[in-house]
Every structure is written in structure tokens, then in C-alpha cells.
Amino acid sequence: MKLTVCQAGEAVLRRKARALSRDEILGSYIQDLIESMRDTMRDTPGVGLAAPQIGLPLQLVVIEDLPQYMQTIAAEELAERKRRPVAFHVVINATLTIERAETAEFFEGCLSLAGFTAIVPRATHVRVECLNEKAEPIAIAAEGWYARILQHEIDHLQGTLYIDRMNPRSFSTQDNYVRHWKDKPVSQFWQQVPPQPE
């Protein structure tokens, strides 16, 4: 079942989500919800979806970065972003730790800010401790684009959107991004757009 994705301005996107109990995770409500969130993420399409985005303040995230999403992106861009396919998985009650001070800047979008994108600095290496859909504890070590997805989705559980972390001067419509900046290094954007007001 495809769910409606809340857009910026809905209070649920700005509230802290609550943790799920083991019994809740194993119950049919959450199991069905995981399936609906997966279908919604694939239909939209997106690489991650957090429960607050479908109106539920729960610490539940689904992630999947399919090989076919990479077909329209230049090989150099994929390499620069360290973007590789990520199999479908579920992240519940997550704690994220930044493993290195190193950050990377790339354009990033959000299903709850449909039609827009901006440059967001994110840590390149993170570790996530969480539960999976069977309520089993798992630890994820991630780098590159996958680390970015985890940071973005886990931010949703704290009521944080990428616009809180973006470089505001890079905020762009998706159409203009595709027209001018797609497949170009971020450094080229900053050569054309002064990083500070002139």
C-alpha cells in the first residue's frame, strides 16, 4: 500500500519520534507498516523513508538504494559520492555515532521537501546501533552515500530536516539542479555561486 508522504510544514516532521518496544516491532501493525513504507519508498522513488514522513512519530526507518537508481548518474559522480547499492533494510530505535570528523558536501533531497535540493555537509563515516524488523540488535558501519542516507533518515526521528543543516545559498529547485548542476562537482557550484554575499 502506498502511503502519503508529509510535506514540510506538518508538525509531525518537527517532533521527536518515540522508540518501539520489542512486542510492537513483532506485532502485525508495525510489520504491515514496514511493508507499506517499503512500497511507498519504491513507488516515489526514494532511498530512505522515516515514519514521521508518513505522519507517525515512531523511530522506524526503511532504507534501500537500488542499482537502477544509479543508471542515470555519471560514473564519476557515483565514485565521488561513494554511492553503491544498499539492500533493503529496516532501522528501528537507532543511535548514530559519527566515526570521523571528515565531512563531504553534496546536493541532497528529501521526499518531504518535494521538488527542492541543497548542498548538505555530512560526516563521511558513521556507526548506527539499532534493531532490525525482527527486533534483533544490529550494528551498521557505513561510509559515503550510505552514511549520508543514515544521517538524513535518523535526523527525521529527531525532528530535523536537511534544510536545518544545508548551506542555505545552495538551495535550489530540483529542475534547476538537473539543468545546471547535476553530474558536476560541488566545487563548480561554488565557483559560479559566491559562497558569501558579495
The residues that touch Zn ion, with contacts defined as CB under 5 A, are 110
- For residue 152, the minimal CB distance to Zn ion (Å) is 5
Report in angstroms the alpha-carbon separations of 191 from 22, 34, 170: 51, 43, 12
- For residue 198, the minimal CB distance to Zn ion (Å) is 32
Cα gap 50→162, rounded to integer Å: 13
10: its cell numbers:
506538518
Closest CA to 49 of 102, 2, 105, 111: 111
Please identify, using beta-carbon distances, which residue of 168 and 197 lies nearer to Zn ion.
Answer: 168
Please identify, using beta-carbon distances, which residue of 34 and 110 lies nearer to Zn ion.
Answer: 110
Q: How many Cα atoms within 13 Å fall on the side-chain side of residue 171?
A: 10
Among 64, 80, 99, 153, the active-site one is 153
Residue with the shortest CB distance to Zn ion: 110
Please identify, using beta-carbon distances, which residue of 30 and 110 lies nearer to Zn ion.
Answer: 110
- For residue 192, the minimal CB distance to Zn ion (Å) is 26
**What percentage of the chain's residues is helix, strand, coil (to nearest 5)?**
35, 25, 35
**What is the torsion angle, in degrees rounded to the nearest 10, for the CA atoms of residue 169, residue 114, residue 82 and residue 149?**
110
Please identify, using beta-carbon distances, which residue of 90 and 110 lies nearer to Zn ion.
Answer: 110
Clarify whether 10 is annotated catalytic: no
- For residue 188, the minimal CB distance to Zn ion (Å) is 25
- Burial (Cβ within 10 Å: 0-12, 13-18, ≥19) of residue 40: buried
What sign does the dihedral 19-143-97-153 (CA atoms) show?
negative
Residues annotated as catalytic are 153
